[in-house]
Structure 1
Amino acid sequence: MGSLGQQKPHVVVFPYPAQGHMNPLMEFAKRLVCRNVLVTFIATERIREQMKQAQEGAAAHVTSALQDIRIETISDGLSPDCEKTKDVDMILDLLKKVGGLTFERVIERLNSQGDTVSCIVYDSFLDWVPDIANKFNVPSAFFWTQSCAVYSIYYHFYTGMVKAKDEAGKMRDVITIPGLPPLCQSDMPSFLQPSNTYPSLLKLVLNQFRPVSQATWILGNSFNELEMAEIQSMDSLIPIRTVGPLLPSAFLDGNNPQDQDVGTHLWKTANCIDWLNTKEASTVVYVSFGSLAVISKEQIIEIALGLKASQHFFLWVIRPDHDNEENNDIDDFLKGFLGETVDQGLVVSWCPQMAVLNHPSVGMFVTHCGWNSTLESLSSGLPVLTIAQWTDQTTNSKYIEDVWKTGIRLNRTRDGPVGRDEVEKSINTIMESEEGVELRKNALHWKTLAKKAMVKGGSSDKNIDWFIHEVITRATLA
């Protein structure tokens, strides 16, 4: 790679093609662009088309958010009849084989037209990208989209430094990992729990660390003040630099007031703000289970009846696929439920989550506790009710309740979903009791620290500046 001279550093950002992975990496791309870095964002052809459809008729601030970021597409190898497949092994294998080849061609073309690539920032799920970076003699940055606590857990299990079973082969009741609180089996990421039925996904999450030694930098979507002990405990193993929370600037540090939306939605967003504007301060319960969580029909019914019984206003996001696998059955229930609660709630298929969480009428968040939603709740100063489904959500829920103390955790039982009575009671506790006041106070504390991390001179702001300086230095010396 030749000398940069006066040329801007050029960073290629490559997320795993799913909403929860694209969002933080797009926000990171925006942070780089604001610092005079040329950024190329990689999307699969299917995902790019979905983004375009979702942005049709979107507000100007949504489409303008991406105007300074170049988006290049690659093929994921999936045929149209495979688009709805949930076979993660097949998706990843095709993305590596077909996507890898088309990604190489993108790098070759960018270099040949004078936009020499200085660095590739890649999602940790894409463990084959460092090989391509090495082929082009380009440094790479391993990007972690979950919490630093989960980063530490997976690393300790990957290396065998910590095991789920003791010497006698019995499952440990408590898992002890440096820098983390003691964890029960139910606090662990679901893939590490005895009940895990996804062995291929366990292999995937652990194998993220296989090529990590090839990465020049390791970056994470968190902030020092939130996970200080967890971050410091990894310093002597594989240090991680936090550059988050990676959320739209307008709702966090305010450096870019135009950045009000991540801009990578895969579904059209509904206009729910007008409805929220009709409600008084802190009177609405916001409910959303993210972009991937699959909620059973039974759980949807229990949440619905709990919401209704609480008598609080609610805004509920139910994705176009209804968050469940029994669409026809649930349609009939939802029609009846919506008719009964027409004056109490609003159900939409997707919404601009940060705008909703920061709306004065919203008083709490019912969430699956994915990492993006967790950071969004903390950065918005909202107390939460967590109903974790799988993957890292169980660990995030543990931290929400016991470490950061911003919410109440409801755990599913082996016998079935979280019940309506528990949902109703927990909502009323957060919305009406002194305990709820304390949870809100704690959440506002983390909101202040999240903003502090991202403003000029904050911990994450400094780490982003450090990263760019490192990229420029290496590109200049190459």
Structure 2
Amino acid sequence: MFEDYHIVFKERQFKKWAFKEAMGSLGEQERIKRPHVVVFPCPGQGHMNPLMEFAKRLAYRNLHVTFIVTERVKKQIIQAREGADAHVQLPNIKIETISDGLSSDCEETKDVDMIIDLLRKVGGLAFERLIERLNSQGDTVSCIVYDSLMSWIPHIANKFKVPSAFFWTQSCAVYSIYYHFYTGMVKANNEEENVRAVIEIPGLPQLCQSDMPSFLQSSNPYGSLLQLVMNQFSTISQATWILGNSFNELEMREIQYMDSLIPIRTVGPLVPSAFIEGNNPQDQDVGIHLWKAENCIEWLNTKEASTVVYVSFGSLAILSKEQIIEIAIGLRNSRHSFLWVIRPDQKNEENTNVDDFLKDFLQETIDQGLVVSWCPQMAVLNHPSVGMFVTHCGWNSTLESLCSGLPVLTFSQWSDQTTNSKYVEEVWKTGIRLNKTTHGLVGRDEVEKSIKTITESEQGVEMRKNALQWKTLAKDAMMKGGSSDKNIDWFIHEVIATIAMA
């Protein structure tokens, strides 16, 4: 299966589409309509962000884009925007809503299996009806860009004879790791005692079990999620193109090796334009949020340059009360100013009374810190007063730290975060991993010591220097003529050529 895909991909890659002959300019050639690309992310903040940013890049290049959200996501967006219409103002991007089988009034659920299954069954049918409606209105769909987790999309694309693009939202290293496990080229290690055993995968540094994505570790409690991850590759051969949110300079060895197996084209880092290539200086925000962003910029404006520790663990992590307390005391003892994001949904049965602790803690540190429920992360990371980032090391946050030139402390929880942390510390050398105690907690002393390592040591100076170098390379990749910019143009030319040959 993968061999056949590689042959087809190479034929497409090396066939020289005569772009000007096939299309001319988008404004001049009347016989070919402006391409209409439908972008369908998995309904989570961390998946919608890069796909929305990719949608913007297509729209900047005069393609018409439809972005799909579910009814429950639409409700959250409306609530986050205080009742404003969910159709945010995005040039050439239309937002369409489909049912995912869950009522918009349904309580928030963390049951990923149920969400994905209903999205496939109910959302799949709703998506087909949407395509039928768009086509009947003369707004013919030219291509579907889909989140790789939704492996059922290629079947729908083939039904409508529409090409599809498999979009990988994690690193190319993780793409390679999962591919090697899916194909059996590398076997999972289920032996707890072999946790330090070396795992060799071509194009990657040496890994041990604790460096692998958590779903491949012997301690993984989420067997069904491993199956979901592996299923991403079950229909990849049906996709016309494979795209990823990374850039060649960042993962050159990984990308070059996978080119001989199942190639991926990188089109990132996908962050708002104002913070990377600058094509649209007004584009300073993704445009869709599932939580209301609080105004923390005025507070940051009162702080001196590079003095604030920014702390955020993404859109999914749930920390115990004990862990929150350890982080809080470590931040306090570091004596650095801090901005800490604690989402409203981070309260569960184990830490329902965490508000009582935080109330007292914030009163004690009123001149030192600020806690918010959500914030515009790229604006915060690029604020002059922010000097470092304490992160769960999800792929979006990892890329955003590199794009901002900030050193990081990584506090990985699950999924790809463990692998990203390995790369941050040992490959890109822009940060250090926070170590857990035998009780599974990152202690207050570890937090304090690690903050001071970055802010007060020569090692910290070197990490900041490395981060700034990656910032330059990330910007170069997205600028006109950069590696990712060329790949975006290549993708658009491919879509246009497909229309021309239809």
Matching residue within 320, 323, 329 for 1:296: 320
1:222 corresponds to which residue?
246
Return the letter of the residue paired with 2:232: Q
Distance 1:10 1:419, change over 3 A: same
Q: Deviations over 1:412-447 (max 9, x none)?
A: 345221110000000011111111111000000000
Q: Distance in 2 between matches of 1:341 and 1:170?
A: 44
Is 1:28 matched with 2:58? no
Is 1:451 matched with 2:462? no
1:272 corresponds to which residue?
296
Assess if the C-alpha contact under 8 Å between 1:290 and 1:370 holds in 2. Answer: yes
Assess if the C-alpha contact under 8 Å between 2:190 and 2:217 holds in 1. Answer: no
- Secondary structure class of the residue paired with 2:37: strand
- Secondary structure class of the residue paired with 1:364: strand
1:309-328 equivalent positions in 2, closer than 5 A: 309-322=333-346, 325-328=349-352
Return the letter of the residue paired with 2:81: Q
1:281-360 equivalent positions in 2, closer than 5 A: 281-322=305-346, 325-360=349-384
Assess if the C-alpha contact under 8 Å between 1:55 and 1:63 holds in 2. Answer: no
Q: Distance in 1 between matches of 2:105 and 2:283?
A: 36
1:69-148 equivalent positions in 2, closer than 5 A: 69-79=93-103, 82-148=106-172
Q: Distance in 2 between matches of 1:104 and 1:408?
A: 46
Q: Distance in 2 between matches of 1:10 and 1:81?
A: 32
Residue segments in structure 2 that go unaligned for 5+ positions in a row? 1-28
Q: Distance in 2 between matches of 1:81 and 1:351?
A: 25
2:23 corresponds to which residue?
none
2:257 corresponds to which residue?
233
Shift of 1:322: 2.8
Return the letter of the residue paired with 1:195: S
Q: Which moved more, 1:81-90 or 1:392-401?
A: 81-90
Shift of 1:323: 5.9
Matching residue within 384, 405, 420 for 2:429: 405
Assess if the C-alpha contact under 8 Å between 1:250 and 1:256 holds in 2. Answer: yes
Distance 1:115 1:434, change over 3 A: same
Assess if the C-alpha contact under 8 Å between 1:296 and 1:325 holds in 2. Answer: no
Cα RMSD of the aligned pairs, angstroms, is 2.0
Is 1:467 matched with 2:491? yes
2:11 corresponds to which residue?
none
Q: Distance in 1 between matches of 2:211 and 2:380?
A: 29
Shift of 1:52: 2.2
Q: Deviations over 1:304-356 (max 9, x none)?
A: 00000000000000001236553422111111111111110000000000000
Q: Distance in 1 between matches of 2:271 and 2:228?
A: 26
Distance 1:202 1:55, change over 3 A: same
TM-score, scaled relative to structure 1: 0.96
Q: Which moved more, 1:3-12 or 1:382-391?
A: 3-12
Q: Distance in 2 between matches of 1:366 and 1:19?
A: 19
Assess if the C-alpha contact under 8 Å between 1:63 and 1:263 holds in 2. Answer: no
Return the letter of the residue paired with 2:243: L
Q: Distance in 1 between matches of 2:194 and 2:368?
A: 50
Return the letter of the residue paired with 2:457: S
Q: Distance in 1 between matches of 2:349 and 2:481?
A: 47
Shift of 1:172: 7.1
- Secondary structure class of the residue paired with 2:494: helix
Return the letter of the residue paired with 1:346: L
2:8 corresponds to which residue?
none
Q: Which moved more, 1:157-166 or 1:442-451?
A: 157-166
Is 1:68 matched with 2:92? yes
Shift of 1:203: 0.6
Shift of 1:85: 2.1
Assess if the C-alpha contact under 8 Å between 1:164 and 1:171 holds in 2. Answer: no
Shift of 1:66: 2.2
Matching residue within 205, 210, 216 for 2:234: 210
1:56 corresponds to which residue?
82
2:269 corresponds to which residue?
245
Assess if the C-alpha contact under 8 Å between 1:294 and 1:325 holds in 2. Answer: no
Shift of 1:170: 6.6
Q: Distance in 1 between matches of 2:122 and 2:190?
A: 42
Distance 1:195 1:221, change over 3 A: same
Return the letter of the residue paired with 2:444: R
Q: Distance in 2 between matches of 1:80 and 1:247?
A: 29
Q: Distance in 2 between matches of 1:247 and 1:325?
A: 35
Shift of 1:65: 5.2
Shift of 1:190: 0.5
- Identical aligned residues as a percent: 79
Distance 1:42 1:468, change over 3 A: same
Q: Distance in 2 between matches of 1:175 and 1:92?
A: 31
Q: Deviations over 1:287-306 (max 9, x none)?
A: 00010111121111110000
Is 1:368 matched with 2:368? no
Distance 1:387 1:170, change over 3 A: closer
Shift of 1:56: 3.4
Assess if the C-alpha contact under 8 Å between 1:386 and 1:410 holds in 2. Answer: yes
2:440 corresponds to which residue?
416
Shift of 1:48: 1.3
Is 1:395 matched with 2:395? no
- Secondary structure class of the residue paired with 1:286: strand
Q: Which moved more, 1:304-313 or 1:4-13?
A: 4-13
TM-score, scaled relative to structure 2: 0.91
Q: Which moved more, 1:409-418 or 1:31-40?
A: 409-418
Matching residue within 44, 57, 77 for 1:18: 44
Shift of 1:448: 0.1
Q: Distance in 2 between matches of 1:297 and 1:341?
A: 18
Assess if the C-alpha contact under 8 Å between 1:188 and 1:395 holds in 2. Answer: yes
Superposed structure 1 runs of 4+ greater than 4 Å apart: 62-65, 169-172
1:148-187 equivalent positions in 2, closer than 5 A: 148-165=172-189, 173-187=197-211
Assess if the C-alpha contact under 8 Å between 2:170 and 2:244 holds in 1. Answer: yes
Q: Deviations over 1:336-389 (max 9, x none)?
A: 111111110000000000000000000000000000000000000000000111
Assess if the C-alpha contact under 8 Å between 1:383 and 1:439 holds in 2. Answer: yes
Return the letter of the residue paired with 1:196: N
